[in-house]
Amino acid sequence: MASKQVSFTTASRSAESYTSLREKLRSMRSQSARSSAAPWTRKHAPKKAEEPTTAFVLDDHPQELQAGAQSFWREDFFQDACVIVEDKSFLVHRLVLASYSAYFRNIFMVDQEANEDGMFEITLSGVQAKVADNVIQSMYTSRLNLSSTNVFDVLELADGLKYTVAVQACTKYLRDNLNLENCLRTMSLAISYHLDDLKEDSGKFAADRFEEVKNTAGFIALEWYTLRDFIARDDLRVTRELQVFQAVVSWLQKDRAKREKWAVRLMENVRFPLMTPNEVVDNVESVGFLMSAPEFQELVKEATHYHLTPLRQSILQSPRTNPRSSVRLPAVLGIGGTGKNGGVITCFSPASGEWRTFTKMETVARHHHAVAVLGGFVYIVGGEELGKSKSVLSTACRYDPRTGEWLTVASMNKCRQSFQLGVLDDFLYAVGGRVTNQESLSDVERYNPQVDQWEDVAPISTPRRQVAVATHNRRLYAMGGSGHNRISNKLERYNPLTNHWEQKRPLLTNRFSASLQPVGGRLYLVGGVTVVKGHTVVGVDVVDSYNPNLDQWTRLTPMSVPRSEAGCATLDGKIYVVGGYDWCANKIVDLVECYDVEKDEWSAVASYPNRGTGIACCSTILLRLPEGSAESDGTSLTSVTGRETSATGTGVTSATGTVTGLENTETSSEKDSPSKARGSLRSAAVSRSRRELQAEARGKLKRLSSKHKAEEEEEEAGNSTEEEWEVMSGSRPGQGKSFSALVQPSTTYRICVTRRAAVLRTRRELATMAAQPAPGVVSSGSGAAVVGTSGAAVPSPVEMPVDIPFLWTKCLRSMFDDYRTRCICPVGCVCGHVADVLLRVRTLHILGRRRLGGLGRLGRALTSLRRDRRLCHGDVNGC
């Protein structure tokens, strides 16, 4: 909003300068003082010692001075200036105006002559007389009359006059009286007058009520640069990013001829990757005048790539992929461990000072695993399964902070536990570890999220487990560890450019199970285990600081309790050590200690509720903390992308990133009960489409629970309630390929929602597959068996339960990379058709963000076949 410019003009005449007048007055006073002095004091007067004096503070002096000035003003005494506004003149005292206003002070200090009546005249243009009267009165009475109708005019005049106390009064009034109608205008004026505090307060008020203020006249009247800054705010409270896009389109269309030139610069602040794909297709690509701009097409393309390549999202980060949040609270997360609640994630915030249950891991409960954050996504890798099996794991999963979804990613080449992860140049590095108590590893694997693969890189010098790992200045550091009954003091640094480890200055103390944290250009090695007198195992409480630039170690203040196998994370320059084992006392430690790097001091914080070892910790930024535990109230919690860094813990890795979704962790003894299904639907949602789906599903589940027996009979008979969608394809002229182009025209997917599973029927696809089998496949008719070249009978494609999470392995991902591939077996067996159907189902899931259940058996079968490489041998029997 353009602020009204207040211009001031001063009536000036050629005259003796005010400066010379002051000099004359000073000279006259000096002469008067000399003439009035006693004769004996003028010359050869005897000098006397100065008598001590006492200074008294006159408490009422300011009030008396103000009261006198006010009295002179009201009674028209001693006025020496006249302020002319519109057709009115205000007689004032220059001394009073110059005392409050820097503008008037500068005016009266320049050369100026009084008029024939002895008055100095000043003319203010562009100002209302009643506003000027109000401001001038406030200089004498200390009372400024403000209302919703005059406050903006008073603020403009006070700012022009540099009348600071009046500006502060207007600022306070506006802050105390913010509403939907004036918040945006207030924000605009605050920007124009550089009132940062008012700008922040009014901006936050409007951001918290975006859904309401976007429909006000003040929103349409915003200047483009003010609107740009407003929609770029991270704390913009919206349920869908589509609302921001639609608000900007409304602003553009209000005066499209003049405003269209700002369209791209505004749209650069709309976070299209946070929209669902069907929102992009239906609402964004349909705006023709925007799609005609190549720069805007690039923004849509960015969203397209983000959704179509979910495994690459961690390396496709930009400011537009960061979700918006109204509150950002730093917190430490504790993940897994050997405790009885090893499958639970807990959170600690310095603001609340206590640990609370955050969510439950949707993966195997594990301990001595590794955690790292890449691109704002939390990766949980390896470890040992918590339970009777105690299997060492190679599996990995990723937590999506934007949707609260878990995604299974490629497993490591080797099973390992008691290792740590490092993040370096968009890769994850798994260093060392062990498979059994006797077998330690020197292998180092690197995960590439772009291709979802692990690959081997140069190993560390010796096989070691529980190596402390951290990243600094694009180098990976590995310290200590144990292997072959020896505790190492080695410090190795990995250079990814040369794929080589180099030795650096060794540790001050041989240790393993320590934690390594990068803070402020240094690496801090905390805790661990060592051996004294050749055989006695003791915990390490010392903290050593390593300077990578100088290759130098420094010993710091020790912890109060020595510990190993602890989780460790850095938050706001402080290192938090969580849990672990005290070898000296032979007990598990639940005390959490915090190390202040600047003060070199340790302090105790709240005890960890899930006491155990092998805990993984990370620090992140949460939207808000839960008010109670997930078991008690199911409070929902989402969070935003946080900082990215590698961090460590013994057998674990601490990281900085983002985690969302305080899910309801209610359990039920009956696996498929409606209450269990309802609990699974309480994950935090970002898009409106997901919430609508959840509401629909809850309604259906409620009806299904009341008709349990009837549903069982319908399910056995195959008569399930159906919900049908139509997905059309094709691209509009000048738009490039859209999301919907991935699906063939007029393909209808019929989704059958039941209590036990979601059933997918693809009428056209199944009919086509049955009628026209791929080369090498002979069909005996609809519903009959399909016979391959080897003569083995294969069941024909029929209606099947389908599971559609993003958990498919390379089999479907390779199919997704090439949509037109019909079969992945050389002989063209039926598994190719199944994969093609699943590909289209996945496309539907991307388009609708529909979370369906089912396909567990078929998905696992395809995964197993792909892993065994039987799909590529042309063996129909194998398929």
Tokens of 798: 């029929």
Q: What is the band of 114 on the pLDDT scale with cuts at 50, 70, 90?
A: low
Q: Closest Cα partner for 581 from 337, 336, 829?
A: 337
Chain centroid to CA 720: 41
List phi, psi (to 5°) of 120. Answer: -95, 125
pLDDT in tens, 624-669: 655 454 333 333 343 333 333 334 443 334 444 433 333 333 333 3
- Check if the beta carbon of residue 614 is closer than 8 Å to that of residue 588: no
Lowest average pLDDT, out of 550-559, 784-793, 808-817, goes to 784-793
**pLDDT interval class at 50 (50, 70, 90):** confident
Cβ atoms of residues 874 and 827 within 8 Å: yes
Q: Which of 52-61, 315-324, 420-429 has the highest mean pLDDT?
A: 420-429
- The rounded distance, in Å, linking the Cα atoms of 80 and 90 is 11
What beta strand segments (E) does 1-132 contain? 7-10, 81-85, 88-92, 120-125
Q: Which residue has the higher pLDDT, 12 or 31?
A: 31
Q: Residue 544: its pLDDT value, please?
A: 95
Q: Which two tokens stand for residue 781?
A: 């008719």
Q: Is the pLDDT of residue 612 over 70?
A: yes
How far apart (Å, rounded) are the C-alpha atoms in residues 254 and 261?
13
Q: How open is the CA angle 387-590-625, to the nearest 5 degrees?
A: 90
Tell me the C-alpha distance between 817 and 807, whole Å.
16
* Helix residue ranges, H only, 164-240: 164-176, 183-192, 196-208, 210-213, 217-220, 224-231
The arithmetic mean of pLDDT across residues 715-730, rounded, is: 34
Q: What share of the chain is helix, strand, coil (3-state, %, to 5)?
A: 30, 25, 45
**pLDDT at residue 325 above 80?**
no
344 pLDDT band, cuts 50/70/90, is: confident
**Residues contacting 750, CB < 8 A, separation 6+:** 722, 723, 724, 760, 761, 762, 763
Residue range 262-271: average pLDDT? Answer: 93
Question: What would the two tokens of residue 119 be?
Answer: 């008055």
pLDDT of residue 96: 87
Instruction: Give the distance from CA 655 to its chain's centroid.
Output: 15
- For 689-704, what is the mean pLDDT? 54
Q: What pLDDT shows up at residue 510?
A: 92
| pLDDT for 731 | 33
Predicted pLDDT at 116? 64
Q: What pLDDT sits at residue 585? A: 86
> Would you say 404 and 638 are in contact if contact means Cβ atoms under 8 Å apart?
yes
What's the mean pLDDT in 288-313? 88
What percentage of the chain exceeds 70 in pLDDT?
Answer: 63
Residue 603: what pLDDT? 93
Could you say which DSSP state residue 110 is in? S
**pLDDT value, residue 620:** 77
Spatial neighbors of 446 by CB under 8 A, at least 6 apart, are 427, 428, 429, 430, 454, 455, 456, 457
Which residue is associated with the tokens 């792909």? 866
Mean pLDDT for all residues in the chain: 72
- What is the per-residue pLDDT for 105? 87
**Averaged pLDDT, 188-196:** 90
User: So what's the pLDDT on residue 187?
Assistant: 93
Higher-pLDDT residue of 492 and 16 is: 492
DSSP assignment of 349-380 equals ETTTTEEEEEEE-SS--EES-EEEEETTEEEE
Instruction: Tell me the average pLDDT across 114-128.
Output: 79
Specify the pLDDT at position 374: 87
pLDDT at 730: 33
Res 697: pLDDT: 54
Top-confidence residue, 442 or 723: 442
Residue 437 phi, psi dihedral angles, 5° rounding: -65, -25
Q: Give the pLDDT of residue 447.
A: 95
Query: Exposed/middle/buried for 142, CB within 10 Å: 0-12, 13-18, 19+?
Result: exposed
**Res 33: pLDDT:** 53
Higher pLDDT, 820 or 6: 6
State the pLDDT at residue 99.
87
Residues contacting residue 61 through CB under 8 Å, at least 6 positions apart: none
Higher pLDDT, 616 or 776: 616
pLDDT score for 7? 54
- The 10s digit of each residue's pLDDT in 510-551 is 999 999 999 989 999 999 999 887 778 888 999 999 999 999
For 61, how many CA atoms within 13 A lie in the half-sphere containing its CB? 4
Q: Copy the structure tokens of residue 466.
A: 């529980």
pLDDT at residue 703 in the model: 55
- What digits encode the pLDDT tens for the residues 774-797? 333 333 333 333 333 333 333 333
Amino acid at the residue 72:
F
pLDDT per residue over 583-599, tens digit each? 888 889 988 999 999 99
| pLDDT exceeds 50 at position 157 | yes
* pLDDT at residue 118, as a whole number: 66
pLDDT band at 32 (very low <50, low <70, confident <90, very high): low
From CA 701, how far away is CA 758, in angstroms rounded? 12
Determine which of 51-65, 87-101, 284-298 has the lowest per-residue pLDDT on average: 51-65
Q: What whole-number distance in Å separates Cα of residue 850 and Cα of residue 239? A: 18
Q: What band does 434 get if pLDDT is binned at 50, 70 and 90?
A: very high
| Residue 750 in this model has a pLDDT that exceeds 90 | no
Structural domains of the chain ordered from first start: 329-657 (2.120.10.80), 666-706 (no CATH), 723-867 (no CATH)
Residue 845 pLDDT exceeds 80: no
Separation CA 526–CA 765 (nearest Å):
60
- Rounded CA gap, 735 and 300, in Å? 10
- Pairing relationship of beta strands 491-495 and 500-503 according to DSSP bridges: antiparallel
Residue 365 has pLDDT above 80, yes or no: yes
Name the residue with higher pLDDT: 133 or 109. 133
User: For 238-249, what is the mean pLDDT?
Assistant: 91
**Complete edge-to-edge strand list for the sheet that includes strand 500-503:** 468-472, 475-479, 491-495, 500-503
Q: Which residue did the predictor score with more confidence, 676 or 65? A: 65
List of residues 6+ apart from 65 with CB closer than 8 A: none
Tokens of 404: 């609260």
Residue (of 201, 190, 185) closest to 149 by Cα position: 185
d(CA 334, CA 344): 8
Q: In which residue are the tokens 């430490």 written?
A: 332
Predicted local confidence at residue 8, as pLDDT: 54
Which residues are 517's β-sheet partners?
A: 524
Please say whether the beta carbons of 185 and 219 come within 8 A: no
